[in-house]
Structure 1
Amino acid sequence: MDGQRQISVYQFKVLTILFSLGSTLLVISSGLADELKQDAWLGAALGTLGGLALVALYNALAGRFPDKTLTELSTYLLGRTVGRMFMLAYLFFNFYSAAALIWYVGNFLTTNLFIETPRPVLMILYAAVMLYGTHLGLGALARSAETSVLIFMFALVIVMLSLLPEAQTGNLLPAMEAGPGPLSRASFTFLSFAYFPWVSLLMIYPKHVNRPEACGKALYTSVLSSGAILTAVTALTVMVLGPDRTSIELYPTYNLTMKISIGHFFERIEALFVLLWLLAIFYQAVLIYYAAVMGLAQMIRVDQYRSLNLPMGLCLVPFALLIYPNVGYEQAWDYKVWPVFSLTFALWPAVLLLVAAVRGRGAKRHAKNGR
């Protein structure tokens, strides 16, 4: 991902949609149903509104500093020492997130498809694909996403339409039964999976988008599109599996596709859903890993990030096996710790905006100084 490469607004929008779906598509229905039962879809809908507020924050930062990445801006506003402290924390956040996504892939595949295959083997294979995608560059990744999103959406529509005969609207009743406490917790959890990781995209936006001033509307469209998909998938999962079974399944949307049977001919297409999920999580993992590599490159002042790609990548799988010793630990972390952990980074742009306002720095001053 050459630092000079620029991507179009449409390419960035496609990447953000796939990024949001990523890991969220496979697991979020379970957590929402566990908290809200039949109102799980409502948690996803309200979480989408929170995503719109987060986009407004990021757009405000991008509009004020259109020529800097998040790490560059932190150093510019807070000084070298404090800025480097943030860069180190931000590096850890992104590296942790990338390793966690590799663990999810390995655990899912060994649990459902390749039961006899050791988990580290599958994780190594997926990590190798990630590293190759990172090496090819941002331009190649964005161009591939333009084609991939069409395939993804077409296949997803087929899967959802095929499940409609199995759906029972009665599983969504009684509606609006969840209280404000469970609803707010579920929406916050949804936000932490779908939109808090967007802070990683601030290593691309606005600096590496060719028309950053046009990205505001594109990002709102991305939130609404991904939120609508996740809300629809959550509602469909509850209608087909029921709220109780949805809440106890580790991968409810995967089990959902096993219900597809049309004329005893069109059935057992869960492999199609697996390909969809692996495709979406690939873009999410590569973009997050890119943020980690670029953060390290800027921190140690290395011009070419590719020289760090392989050395950092070799640490991904061992680190992933270290952070999640088992599924129980992963579930506890994801639903109890991750939301607060990711929030601290998701709201960092608000801190930078406050500092910029106090110090009077922004786009106007940049123009005045000829920067």
Structure 2
Amino acid sequence: MNGKIGTTQAAMLIVNTILPTAIVVLPAIISNYAEQDAPLAIFLSTLIGLGIATLVGTVVRYTNGMPFLDWIRKRSSPVVAFILGLLMLQFYLDIASTILREFINFTKDNVLVKTPATVLVILILLITVYMVRQGIEAIARVNSFVILLYIFFVPLFLFGLLGYIDIHRLLPLFDHSPAALTLASLTPASWMSEVGVLLFLAPYLKSPQKARFIGWLGLLTLFLLMLMILVPTLMVLGPDYIKISAYPGFSAAGIVRIGNSFERLDILFLSFWVLSIYLKLAIFLFATVECFKQTFRVDTSRPFIGALGLLIALECLFTWKDSAMLNTYNREGRFLVFLLFNAALPLILVILERFRWFKPKRKGWDS
């Protein structure tokens, strides 16, 4: 059963909507373009993300907590809402499948090397489907607890790396052209745009009018956490190593040791990351289910959660079977797709509503 979630809970959902896959994928991509100036790329992408959060939050304020596609149906027509719903359903199915694939790839590369991908997909989806069936309020409560654990893990990560940090690996500063920094910021900006999930969380917010603040708070928290992870990793490993490493953040975590009693703490960080990625996958499966529910106007989505999970599993296993293709998509294609649905769509809706080009449905139409 889905209850309402508070402003802080929603902001923390935004953090875990982006961070788990971002810290795995982004450092290597950003470093290819910006090297030691990678923190500047994170800063630029956060500015873009804040702009997108403003657009998304404005649309949520217009809906005032009404389900997104129901609002589109009310302001335009059932046909427009249905077509848009189908497009967004495909978009969210694709996001969830790529998250699952990144989860599988990381697990097979680092932990369960010989376990078949099919077995991992089944186990992960069974747990995720169970989480979604508990509702967004339960997911938000667990997520808030996980975010609080950063208070323990981030200082542990920083303290454990103190003896290996070389600040000279960040020099020279501002060594890259604006064009290189722009290219480096495009991919992280696409991850920041995942704040667009607020469109489908809106009916469960206690204060939909605070949606812009929710997006801003979530992205600023994410910005700080990304810097706390990326900058020490750069100072320990250097930009040249990060460019060729598949998972530089976890390579840095593998160095962490405290005295002679506590070493190889990377398994502790790995366990925490697995918990975070489960929550991210649950959030996007929930958004996918909500999109399906609003598109086809079903009273309850519970019978369809497993079926949608099966579609995600099939896309994960067959469409994204090639890791190189997924990496190319993350580096070159993701920005365009995310920009279309998470930035361009809210911008168009804001313009239409601001200039009152939307027309309410006529009486007698199917509502």
Q: Deviations over 1:305-330 (max 9, x none)?
A: 11111111122222101221222111
- 3-state SS of 1:96 partner: helix
**2:24 counterpart of 1:23:** no
Check the 8 A contact 1:257/1:269 in 2, yes or no.
Answer: yes
How many Å separate the matches in 2 of 1:345 and 1:218?
19
**2:261 counterpart of 1:275:** no
The structure 2 residue matched to 1:306, chosen from 302, 306, 320, is 302
Q: Which runs of 4+ in 1 moved over 6 A?
A: none
In structure 2, the partner of 1:198 is 195
Residue 361 of structure 1: how far off its partner (Å): 6.0
Residue 149 of structure 1: how far off its partner (Å): 1.6
Identical pairs, percent: 24
Q: Deviations over 1:1-43 (max 9, x none)?
A: 53xx211112112211222212112221111111111111111
The structure 2 residue matched to 1:11, chosen from 9, 12, 17, is 9
How many Å separate the matches in 2 of 1:225 and 1:334?
23
- 3-state SS of 2:355 partner: helix
The structure 2 residue matched to 1:236, chosen from 227, 232, 236, is 232
- 3-state SS of 2:130 partner: helix
Check the 8 A contact 1:74/1:83 in 2, yes or no.
Answer: yes
In structure 1, the partner of 2:246 is 250
Q: Which amino acid in 2 is paired with 1:216?
A: R
How many Å separate the matches in 1 of 2:77 and 2:158?
51
In structure 2, the partner of 1:35 is 33
Q: Which amino acid in 2 is paired with 1:115?
A: V
Return closer, same or farther for 1:298/1:212 CA change in 2, 3 Å cut-off.
closer
Larger CA deviation: 52-61 vs 240-249 = 52-61
How many Å separate the matches in 2 of 1:160 and 1:127?
33
Return closer, same or farther for 1:124/1:232 CA change in 2, 3 Å cut-off.
same
Q: Deviations over 1:215-246 (max 9, x none)?
A: 43333221111111112211111111110110
Flag structure 2 segments of 5+ consecutive residues without an equivalent: 360-367
Q: Deviations over 1:25-63 (max 9, x none)?
A: 222111111111111111111111111111211222222
In structure 1, the partner of 2:340 is 344
Q: How does 1:1-371 map to 2 (within 5 A)?
A: 2=2, 5-193=3-191, 195-205=192-202, 207-347=203-343, 348-359=345-356
Q: Which amino acid in 1 is paired with 2:136?
A: L
Return closer, same or farther for 1:325/1:285 CA change in 2, 3 Å cut-off.
same
Residue 122 of structure 1: how far off its partner (Å): 1.5
Q: Which amino acid in 2 is paired with 1:75?
A: R
Q: Which amino acid in 2 is paired with 1:182?
A: A
How many Å separate the matches in 1 of 2:116 and 2:189?
32
Q: Deviations over 1:84-103 (max 9, x none)?
A: 11110100111111111111
Flag structure 1 segments of 5+ consecutive residues without an equivalent: 363-371
Residue 68 of structure 1: how far off its partner (Å): 2.1
In structure 2, the partner of 1:368 is none
Check the 8 A contact 2:65/2:208 in 1, yes or no.
Answer: no
In structure 2, the partner of 1:366 is none
Residue 360 of structure 1: how far off its partner (Å): 5.9
Q: Deviations over 1:310-360 (max 9, x none)?
A: 111122222101221222111111101111111100121111112222336
- 3-state SS of 1:359 partner: coil
How many Å separate the matches in 2 of 1:81 and 1:278?
40
How many Å separate the matches in 1 of 2:310 and 2:91?
17
Residue 108 of structure 1: how far off its partner (Å): 0.5
Q: Deviations over 1:98-142 (max 9, x none)?
A: 111111111101111111211221122111111011001111111
Q: Which amino acid in 2 is paired with 1:203?
A: F
Q: Superposition RMSD on alpha carbons, in Å? A: 1.8
How many Å separate the matches in 2 of 1:342 and 1:67?
23
Return closer, same or farther for 1:221/1:277 CA change in 2, 3 Å cut-off.
same
Provide the TM-score with structure 1 as the length reference: 0.92
